[in-house]
A = this chain, B = another copy of it.
Amino acid sequence: MFESEINAVAWENDRLVLLDQRRLPGEETHVHCETSEAAAEAIRLMVVRGAPAIGIAAAYGAVLAAREAWREDPDHWQLAIQSRLANLAAARPTAVNLAWAIRRMEACCAGITSGDPAPVMLREARAIHEEDRLANRKMGEFGAELISPGSAVLTHCNAGALATGGYGTALGVIRAAWGQNRLIRVYAAETRPWLQGTRLTAWELLRDRIPVTLITDGSAAYLMQQGRVQWVIVGADRITANGDVANKIGTLSHAIAARHCGVRFMVAAPVSTIDLATLDGARIEIEQRAGSEVTEFAGLPLAPKGCDAFNPVFDVTPAGLVDALVTERGVILRPDAEKIAKHCQ
């Protein structure tokens, strides 16, 4: 199995250590969080990003919260921890795994009947982290089996070690396929406006010596038309009950082009990304961010003064365009409501 040594989130010397993703690829620096508030702030400021990675960081943040609450009031620490957990959970509103991880750490709290809660909480946080790593490795193996040797693939945004507990979802599949000598090249779409492809995916793959070629988002259809890629492989932010996939803006465009050009489209995401409570993608609210992300770069104006911009952050790819949905439980080919319900049982 092809490993990656990239750790976006770690617990070292009794504190949470985060690779500062805002500064990549130019600088490789770490932010050390000694308090639960520092952990919440790091999530808010996007020092760490990617839904699974945020969940893991929050779980370690809950350990810091337990330590603080225990020191503050050993008799009533379970009361004292509440506001700190709420603060962590509110750090990013849309990341599904953040709320999930905090709920799980709360359940852990409730089971502690005596003594310092921090060591017990740390075991739970480490379990969440390790389970995510394992899920990614399983996804990698399942996904890689679908890829014929000699293939080239395209990925969008960053669904890699940096976005997870390690290894990655879409990049997990790519790492596994690379380790099995199935891949000849990875194309990374730059992913405007934040350039996660340029800044994060290219950095991750180069660091693991996997050959990566950057393209503009608008070049993807040309690559597919020319037969230069066989698969598009992406992660997901939310998958609805019918199999519609919310992911970084630009994903839909690749999915439509893939179907048109006979290129296959794979989504790799843990089962926790599947939201059975939401029937289809039309019911997902698409976050819109400031137009200045499009009209400016690093504080410099690109567009003429007063120019309006529309900046949706996600789009929804209909299930009908997905050839394979890969989770830690296996592969769903041509996902639909029935197959997904069965998969999640």
Contact = CB atoms under 8 A, between A and B. Distances in A.
Interface of A: 24-26, 187, 189-193, 195, 198-199, 202-203, 206, 211-223, 225, 249-250, 252-253, 256-257, 259-261, 286, 291, 294-295, 297-298, 300-312, 315-316
A99 to B, nearest CB: 25
A317 to B, nearest CB: 9
A297 B199 CA distance: 13
Contacts of A203: 303-304
Contacts of A312: 219, 222
Contacts of A286: 222
Nearest to A313: B219
Contacts of A256: 221, 256-257, 260-261
A222 B318 CA distance: 11
A contacts with B: majority SS:
mixed
A215 B303 contact: no
Contacts of A192: 190, 192, 216-218
Given A213-B308, A214-B303, A214-B308, A249 B202 contact: no
Contact of A214 (B212, B220, B257, B295): B295
9 contacts: A198-B295, A198-B303, A199-B304, A203-B304, A214-B295, A214-B307, A214-B309, A216-B249, A222-B249
B202 A216 contact: no
A250 B304 CA distance: 22
B250 A303 contact: no
A302 B206 contact: no
B190 A222 contact: no
Given A203-B304, A214-B295, A222-B249, 19 more contacts: A25-B303, A26-B301, A198-B294, A199-B304, A202-B303, A202-B307, A203-B303, A206-B304, A206-B306, A211-B308, A212-B307, A213-B308, A213-B309, A215-B309, A216-B217, A221-B253, A221-B315, A253-B257, A257-B257
A260 to B, nearest CB: 5
B249 A219 contact: yes
B252 A215 contact: no
A84 to B, nearest CB: 37
A199 B310 contact: no
Contacts of A206: 304, 306-307
Contacts of A213: 308-310
Contacts of A189: 218
Contacts of A260: 256, 259-260
A24 B202 CA distance: 31
A310 B187 contact: yes
Contacts of A259: 260
A219 B225 CA distance: 20
A303 B218 contact: no
Contacts of A257: 252-253, 256-257
A249 B190 CA distance: 14
Contacts of A261: 256
> Which 10 interchain pairs have the tightest Cβ spacing?
A218-B250, A25-B304, A221-B253, A214-B309, A192-B216, A222-B315, A217-B218, A203-B304, A221-B252, A256-B260
